[in-house]
Structure 1
Amino acid sequence: MGGSHSSFTEAELQDYQELTFFSKKEILHVHKRFHLLDPDAVRANKDVCLPQGTVCELPELKVNPFKDRICKVFSSQGDGSLSFEDFLDMMSVFSDAAPKSVKSEYAFRIYDFDEDDFVSSGDLREVINRLTGEQQLSDEDMQQLINNILEESDLDDDDALSFAEFEHVISKAPDFMNSFRIRL
């Protein structure tokens, strides 16, 4: 009868509430969404890590060109598989309640494909390719776009964006908060 509430002790719910931007009710809703991704696996083991392919079946991720990077960044295993706690972190960061600073930090990590703590021209090329999909740019147009982005954003002229430079760019993007969210 208690449904997902019986999956957690009151103390666990309290901890999750302190570590996320969610109320207890929202945490239970997130758990329900996690459970629906693979009911048998979650029922059999509350600490299961769902494989990236399963997590990417979430409707909001299914259509996201960065779904693999999102899973990898939030995976405590580092392989894209997500435990409930990883999934809860992801949903919390993508919630409307998460502040812009937290969203910026995770966006930076998602776009830093080579994980060198900079968004370099190679990372920008990957971002642009994923965003343009089938409509790939010519090499010349791609390089021009990358040059334009770096010209506008690379304040220290090192041909890469540090987190501070990235955050500065995000602060000027009015639609960032709307595009970096998953609604419950």
Structure 2
Amino acid sequence: MGNGSSMLTQYDIEGVQEHCSNTFSQQEIVSLYERFCQLDRSGGGFISSDEFMNVPEFAMNPLSQRLLRMLDGLNFKEFVLFLSAFSSRASLQLKVEFIFKVYDSDGNHKVSFNDVLDILRDLTGQFIAEHQRERVLTKVLEEAGYRKDSVLVPADFMKILGSSVLKMEVEVPVD
């Protein structure tokens, strides 16, 4: 799968579909490949964090730095797999696992109170005082049956987030 949509074969498309558990149609994969090639300005077959930052919507996202840790150096299959969490066909489990990875910035498969607080800081900036963030987070955790010293795993995220992550979708334009 080199640079240029003419290099994407039916076999490649089917392989990518299988790799991402059929969360995208063949037409969507072709569109994603075209977008991948546009982002891959170096033509090396991988997208760097600098290339991702050229996407205005991504650069403006308050979580972009966290996402970059997950994205830097993706090839096309990995790019589609990353985006599959945003597909309308993605399972709730896949979406929750993706969100968990965003919160689990150190990759230890656990999310602490401070990990969530870091995300809240990223999202709210200076608009909310630190003590207010802590109070809100403590209350949300308590309502979900957790304490400030609790450590969350993916199953806890499933319990807390439930079906609210189903709205985490982007539409892939197809020609």
TM bucket, shorter chain: 0.7 to 0.9
Are 2:134 and 1:132 equivalent residues in the alignment? no
Shift of 1:171: 0.7
The structure whose RCO (Cα within 8 Å, separation 6+) is larger is 2
Which residue pairs with 2:67 in the alignment?
70
State the Cα distance separating 1:65 from its structure 2 match: 1.6
The 4+ residue runs of structure 1 with deviation greater than 6 A are: none
The 1-side partners of 2:166 and 2:136 are apart by 23
Do the aligned residues in 2 keep the contact of 1:94 with 1:182 (CA within 8 Å)? yes
Residue of 163, 171, 174 corresponding to 1:183: 171
Q: Which amino acid aligns with 1:55?
A: F
Q: Is the 8 A contact 1:96 1:181 kept in 2?
A: yes
Q: Percent identity?
A: 26
SS in 2 for 1:143: helix
Unmatched 5+ stretches in structure 1: none
Q: How does 1:34-45 map to 2 (within 5 A)?
A: 34-39=36-41, 41-42=42-43, 45=44
Q: TM-score under structure 1 normalisation?
A: 0.79
Q: What secondary structure, in the 3-state scheme, does the structure 1 residue paired with 2:126 have?
A: coil
- Looking at structure 1, the residues matched to 93 and 19 of structure 2 have their Cα atoms a distance apart, in angstroms, of 16
Question: Residue 23 in 1 paired to residue 20 in 2?
Answer: no
User: Post-superposition shift, 1:157?
Assistant: 7.7
The residue number in structure 1 matching 2:88 is 96
Letter matched to residue 33 of structure 1: R
How large is the RMSD of aligned CA atoms in angstroms?
Answer: 2.3
Per-residue deviation, residues 34-91 of structure 1 (Å, max 9, x unmatched): 111244x22xx3xx22211211323442232222322323x4xxxx232222211122
Confirm or deny that 1:9 pairs with 2:1: no
CA shift, 1:98, in A, is 1.1
Deviations 1:127-167 (A, max 9, x none): 111111231x3232222122112212354885222211111
- Tell me the TM-score normalised to structure 2 length: 0.83
In the alignment, is the contact (CA less than 8 A) between 1:117 and 1:162 conserved in 2? yes
